[in-house]
Amino acid sequence: MKNILNAPFVQEMKDATANMYRLGWDERNGGNISYLLDESEVAEYLDLSNVIRTIPTGFDASALIGKIFIVTGTGKYFKNVEKDPETNLGIVRIAKDGTTAELLWGYKDGGKFTSEFPAHMMSHISRLAIDKNHRVVMHSHPTYTIAMNTVCSIDEKEFTHKLWQSNTEAIVVFPDGVGILPCMVCGTNEIGEATAEKMKNFRLVIWTNHGIYGTGTSMDEAFGLIETVEKTAQIYMLTLGHVVNVIPDEVLKGLASLWNLKPLDGILK
Protein backbone atom coordinates (compact mmCIF):
# COMPACT_ATOMS: atom_id res chain seq x y z
CA MET A 1 0.00 0.00 0.00
CA LYS A 2 1.35 3.41 -0.97
CA ASN A 3 1.82 6.22 1.55
CA ILE A 4 -1.39 8.30 1.56
CA LEU A 5 0.58 11.47 2.31
CA ASN A 6 2.16 11.13 -1.13
CA ALA A 7 -1.17 10.75 -2.94
CA PRO A 8 -1.70 13.35 -5.70
CA PHE A 9 -5.13 14.26 -4.35
CA VAL A 10 -3.70 14.98 -0.89
CA GLN A 11 -1.01 17.15 -2.49
CA GLU A 12 -3.64 19.01 -4.51
CA MET A 13 -5.59 19.77 -1.34
CA LYS A 14 -2.42 20.96 0.39
CA ASP A 15 -1.49 23.22 -2.52
CA ALA A 16 -5.00 24.65 -2.96
CA THR A 17 -5.56 25.43 0.71
CA ALA A 18 -2.10 27.00 1.04
CA ASN A 19 -2.71 29.21 -2.00
CA MET A 20 -6.20 30.23 -0.86
CA TYR A 21 -4.91 31.18 2.59
CA ARG A 22 -1.96 33.07 1.10
CA LEU A 23 -4.31 35.06 -1.12
CA GLY A 24 -6.46 36.04 1.85
CA TRP A 25 -9.51 34.18 0.60
CA ASP A 26 -9.85 31.95 3.66
CA GLU A 27 -9.14 33.69 6.94
CA ARG A 28 -9.02 31.69 10.19
CA ASN A 29 -11.18 28.59 9.62
CA GLY A 30 -13.11 30.15 6.75
CA GLY A 31 -13.65 28.25 3.53
CA ASN A 32 -13.92 24.58 2.60
CA ILE A 33 -13.15 22.21 -0.27
CA SER A 34 -14.57 18.82 -1.26
CA TYR A 35 -13.02 16.72 -4.01
CA LEU A 36 -14.66 13.65 -5.57
CA LEU A 37 -12.02 10.93 -5.89
CA ASP A 38 -11.60 7.90 -8.12
CA GLU A 39 -12.13 4.75 -6.05
CA SER A 40 -9.41 2.78 -7.82
CA GLU A 41 -6.88 5.53 -7.14
CA VAL A 42 -7.82 5.75 -3.46
CA ALA A 43 -7.49 1.94 -3.19
CA GLU A 44 -3.78 2.28 -3.97
CA TYR A 45 -3.35 4.15 -0.67
CA LEU A 46 -6.09 2.91 1.67
CA ASP A 47 -7.81 -0.33 2.63
CA LEU A 48 -11.35 0.60 1.59
CA SER A 49 -12.83 -2.07 3.88
CA ASN A 50 -11.35 -0.35 6.95
CA VAL A 51 -13.95 2.15 8.22
CA ILE A 52 -12.56 4.17 11.14
CA ARG A 53 -15.95 5.56 12.20
CA THR A 54 -19.15 6.92 10.73
CA ILE A 55 -20.32 10.54 10.66
CA PRO A 56 -23.89 11.72 9.98
CA THR A 57 -24.13 13.54 6.64
CA GLY A 58 -26.86 15.89 7.86
CA PHE A 59 -29.14 15.12 4.91
CA ASP A 60 -30.12 12.31 2.55
CA ALA A 61 -27.12 11.89 0.25
CA SER A 62 -28.42 8.71 -1.39
CA ALA A 63 -27.56 10.06 -4.86
CA LEU A 64 -23.88 9.80 -3.86
CA ILE A 65 -23.84 6.35 -2.20
CA GLY A 66 -20.43 4.73 -2.58
CA LYS A 67 -18.70 7.89 -3.76
CA ILE A 68 -15.50 8.93 -2.01
CA PHE A 69 -14.49 12.50 -1.19
CA ILE A 70 -11.54 14.22 0.46
CA VAL A 71 -12.92 17.14 2.47
CA THR A 72 -11.51 19.91 4.66
CA GLY A 73 -12.41 19.64 8.35
CA THR A 74 -14.75 21.79 10.38
CA GLY A 75 -13.04 24.49 12.42
CA LYS A 76 -9.73 23.83 10.65
CA TYR A 77 -7.43 26.55 9.37
CA PHE A 78 -6.31 26.28 5.74
CA LYS A 79 -2.85 27.43 6.78
CA ASN A 80 -2.41 24.23 8.79
CA VAL A 81 -3.37 21.71 6.09
CA GLU A 82 0.08 21.61 4.50
CA LYS A 83 1.92 20.73 7.72
CA ASP A 84 -0.73 18.38 9.16
CA PRO A 85 -3.06 17.03 6.46
CA GLU A 86 -4.21 14.01 8.52
CA THR A 87 -5.77 16.28 11.16
CA ASN A 88 -7.18 18.93 8.86
CA LEU A 89 -8.45 16.72 6.04
CA GLY A 90 -10.54 13.58 5.86
CA ILE A 91 -11.46 10.99 3.24
CA VAL A 92 -15.05 9.80 3.51
CA ARG A 93 -17.36 7.49 1.58
CA ILE A 94 -21.11 7.98 1.49
CA ALA A 95 -22.55 4.87 3.18
CA LYS A 96 -25.30 2.62 1.83
CA ASP A 97 -27.92 4.31 4.02
CA GLY A 98 -27.17 7.68 2.40
CA THR A 99 -27.34 9.45 5.76
CA THR A 100 -23.90 8.60 7.10
CA ALA A 101 -20.37 8.96 5.78
CA GLU A 102 -17.69 6.35 6.46
CA LEU A 103 -14.37 7.85 7.53
CA LEU A 104 -11.54 6.07 5.71
CA TRP A 105 -8.69 8.40 6.69
CA GLY A 106 -8.02 11.69 8.46
CA TYR A 107 -9.69 13.86 11.12
CA LYS A 108 -7.29 12.12 13.48
CA ASP A 109 -8.12 14.47 16.37
CA GLY A 110 -11.72 13.22 16.37
CA GLY A 111 -13.01 16.01 14.15
CA LYS A 112 -15.24 15.79 11.12
CA PHE A 113 -15.89 17.41 7.77
CA THR A 114 -16.90 21.04 7.28
CA SER A 115 -20.26 22.19 8.61
CA GLU A 116 -21.12 23.03 5.02
CA PHE A 117 -20.76 19.39 3.97
CA PRO A 118 -24.47 19.19 3.02
CA ALA A 119 -24.12 22.28 0.78
CA HIS A 120 -21.09 20.72 -0.88
CA MET A 121 -22.71 17.33 -1.46
CA MET A 122 -25.91 18.91 -2.79
CA SER A 123 -23.82 20.95 -5.22
CA HIS A 124 -21.92 17.82 -6.28
CA ILE A 125 -25.25 16.13 -7.03
CA SER A 126 -26.40 19.09 -9.16
CA ARG A 127 -23.16 19.41 -11.10
CA LEU A 128 -22.74 15.66 -11.71
CA ALA A 129 -26.21 15.60 -13.27
CA ILE A 130 -24.94 18.17 -15.79
CA ASP A 131 -21.30 17.10 -16.19
CA LYS A 132 -20.19 13.55 -15.40
CA ASN A 133 -16.59 14.81 -15.23
CA HIS A 134 -17.35 17.25 -12.39
CA ARG A 135 -15.13 16.71 -9.33
CA VAL A 136 -14.57 19.80 -7.14
CA VAL A 137 -16.63 22.17 -4.99
CA MET A 138 -14.62 25.05 -3.52
CA HIS A 139 -15.88 27.72 -1.12
CA SER A 140 -13.95 30.82 -0.10
CA HIS A 141 -14.30 34.42 1.12
CA PRO A 142 -12.40 36.49 -1.50
CA THR A 143 -12.23 40.11 -0.36
CA TYR A 144 -13.09 42.05 -3.51
CA THR A 145 -15.85 39.67 -4.55
CA ILE A 146 -17.57 40.25 -1.21
CA ALA A 147 -16.93 44.01 -1.47
CA MET A 148 -18.43 44.18 -4.96
CA ASN A 149 -21.37 42.11 -3.78
CA THR A 150 -22.11 44.71 -1.07
CA VAL A 151 -22.26 47.70 -3.47
CA CYS A 152 -23.96 46.11 -6.49
CA SER A 153 -27.42 44.77 -7.16
CA ILE A 154 -27.68 41.03 -6.59
CA ASP A 155 -29.48 40.67 -9.91
CA GLU A 156 -27.41 37.92 -11.52
CA LYS A 157 -27.45 39.29 -15.05
CA GLU A 158 -26.60 42.82 -13.96
CA PHE A 159 -23.78 41.58 -11.70
CA THR A 160 -22.41 39.30 -14.42
CA HIS A 161 -22.51 42.15 -16.93
CA LYS A 162 -20.49 44.41 -14.63
CA LEU A 163 -17.85 41.68 -14.36
CA TRP A 164 -17.77 41.07 -18.10
CA GLN A 165 -17.42 44.82 -18.75
CA SER A 166 -14.44 45.10 -16.39
CA ASN A 167 -12.08 42.42 -17.69
CA THR A 168 -11.94 40.68 -21.09
CA GLU A 169 -11.00 37.39 -19.39
CA ALA A 170 -14.30 37.32 -17.52
CA ILE A 171 -16.66 36.38 -20.36
CA VAL A 172 -14.09 33.90 -21.69
CA VAL A 173 -13.71 32.11 -18.33
CA PHE A 174 -17.34 32.19 -17.20
CA PRO A 175 -19.64 32.79 -20.19
CA ASP A 176 -22.36 31.02 -18.20
CA GLY A 177 -22.33 33.91 -15.72
CA VAL A 178 -22.46 34.04 -11.93
CA GLY A 179 -25.38 32.93 -9.78
CA ILE A 180 -26.20 34.92 -6.63
CA LEU A 181 -28.08 34.07 -3.44
CA PRO A 182 -29.41 36.70 -1.02
CA CYS A 183 -27.89 36.89 2.45
CA MET A 184 -28.79 33.65 4.24
CA VAL A 185 -27.71 31.72 7.33
CA CYS A 186 -24.70 29.63 6.30
CA GLY A 187 -24.11 26.07 7.44
CA THR A 188 -27.77 25.14 6.95
CA ASN A 189 -29.50 22.73 4.60
CA GLU A 190 -31.61 25.64 3.33
CA ILE A 191 -28.62 27.48 1.89
CA GLY A 192 -27.26 24.17 0.60
CA GLU A 193 -30.50 23.47 -1.26
CA ALA A 194 -30.61 27.01 -2.68
CA THR A 195 -26.98 26.72 -3.82
CA ALA A 196 -27.59 23.35 -5.44
CA GLU A 197 -30.56 24.79 -7.33
CA LYS A 198 -28.34 27.59 -8.67
CA MET A 199 -25.68 25.01 -9.59
CA LYS A 200 -28.07 23.60 -12.18
CA ASN A 201 -27.32 26.70 -14.25
CA PHE A 202 -24.05 28.12 -12.90
CA ARG A 203 -20.59 26.85 -11.97
CA LEU A 204 -20.16 29.88 -9.71
CA VAL A 205 -22.55 30.98 -6.96
CA ILE A 206 -22.03 34.03 -4.74
CA TRP A 207 -23.42 34.04 -1.21
CA THR A 208 -24.27 37.69 -0.53
CA ASN A 209 -22.13 39.24 2.23
CA HIS A 210 -20.31 35.93 2.68
CA GLY A 211 -18.29 34.52 -0.22
CA ILE A 212 -18.41 32.35 -3.31
CA TYR A 213 -18.78 28.73 -4.39
CA GLY A 214 -16.84 27.55 -7.43
CA THR A 215 -16.99 24.13 -9.07
CA GLY A 216 -15.05 22.28 -11.71
CA THR A 217 -13.73 19.10 -13.24
CA SER A 218 -10.42 19.73 -11.50
CA MET A 219 -8.94 21.72 -8.64
CA ASP A 220 -7.37 24.09 -11.17
CA GLU A 221 -10.69 24.78 -12.89
CA ALA A 222 -12.58 25.53 -9.68
CA PHE A 223 -9.70 27.66 -8.36
CA GLY A 224 -9.36 29.47 -11.69
CA LEU A 225 -13.04 30.39 -11.80
CA ILE A 226 -12.91 31.98 -8.36
CA GLU A 227 -9.54 33.58 -9.11
CA THR A 228 -10.91 35.26 -12.24
CA VAL A 229 -14.03 36.56 -10.49
CA GLU A 230 -11.91 37.92 -7.64
CA LYS A 231 -9.40 39.63 -9.98
CA THR A 232 -12.27 41.17 -11.94
CA ALA A 233 -14.10 42.27 -8.79
CA GLN A 234 -10.85 43.92 -7.64
CA ILE A 235 -10.67 45.88 -10.90
CA TYR A 236 -14.30 46.92 -10.48
CA MET A 237 -13.85 48.06 -6.89
CA LEU A 238 -10.59 49.92 -7.55
CA THR A 239 -12.29 51.93 -10.30
CA LEU A 240 -15.68 52.31 -8.62
CA GLY A 241 -17.07 55.77 -9.31
CA HIS A 242 -14.26 56.67 -11.73
CA VAL A 243 -14.95 54.44 -14.73
CA VAL A 244 -14.46 56.09 -18.11
CA ASN A 245 -14.06 52.98 -20.27
CA VAL A 246 -15.97 49.72 -20.01
CA ILE A 247 -15.75 46.83 -22.46
CA PRO A 248 -18.52 47.40 -25.04
CA ASP A 249 -21.07 44.67 -25.65
CA GLU A 250 -19.87 44.40 -29.25
CA VAL A 251 -16.39 43.48 -28.03
CA LEU A 252 -17.88 40.99 -25.57
CA LYS A 253 -19.83 39.44 -28.45
CA GLY A 254 -16.60 39.33 -30.47
CA LEU A 255 -14.79 37.51 -27.67
CA ALA A 256 -17.62 35.02 -27.38
CA SER A 257 -17.53 34.42 -31.12
CA LEU A 258 -13.74 34.06 -31.16
CA TRP A 259 -13.82 31.40 -28.45
CA ASN A 260 -17.04 29.72 -29.64
CA LEU A 261 -18.79 30.54 -26.36
CA LYS A 262 -22.48 30.91 -25.62
CA PRO A 263 -22.88 33.81 -23.17
CA LEU A 264 -25.66 33.72 -20.62
CA ASP A 265 -28.84 34.96 -22.32
CA GLY A 266 -30.36 38.34 -21.57
CA ILE A 267 -27.17 40.24 -20.76
CA LEU A 268 -25.59 41.53 -23.95
CA LYS A 269 -27.52 44.10 -25.99
Q: Following DSSP, what letter does each residue of 223-257 receive, concatenated?
A: HHHHHHHHHHHHHHHHTTT-------HHHHHHHHH
DSSP-based three-state secondary structure for 157: helix
Per-residue pLDDT, averaged over 189-194, amounts to: 93
- pLDDT digit string, tens, across residues 213-247: 999 999 999 999 999 999 999 999 999 978 888 99
Burial 28-48 (b: 16+ CB within 10 A, else e): ebbbbbbbbbeeeebeebbee
- pLDDT digit string, tens, across residues 12-48: 999 999 999 999 999 998 999 999 999 999 999 999 9
DSSP-based three-state secondary structure for 95: coil
Q: Provide the pLDDT for residue 241.
A: 78
C-alpha–C-alpha distance, residues 225 and 264, integer Å: 16
Q: Provide the pLDDT for residue 62.
A: 97
> Are 138 and 223 a contacting pair, CB within 8 Å?
yes
C-alpha–C-alpha distance, residues 197 and 192, integer Å: 9
pLDDT of residue 185 exceeding 90? no
C-alpha–C-alpha distance, residues 132 and 66, integer Å: 16
Confirm whether 41 is a catalytic residue. no
pLDDT of residue 208 exceeding 90? yes
Q: Provide the pLDDT for residue 107.
A: 98
Q: Which of 12, 39, 82, 116 is catalytic?
A: 116
DSSP-based three-state secondary structure for 170: helix
- pLDDT digit string, tens, across residues 68-115: 999 999 999 999 999 999 999 999 999 999 999 999 999 999 999 999
CATH numbers and ranges of domains, the chain: 1-6+33-114 (no CATH), 116-261 (3.40.225.10)
Name the nearest CA neighbour of 103 among 56, 54, 58: 54
Per-residue confidence band for 184, with pLDDT thresholds at 50, 70 and 90: confident
pLDDT of residue 146 exceeding 90? yes
In 10 A of CB 168, how many CB atoms? 15
φ, ψ dihedrals at 259, nearest 5° = -100, 10
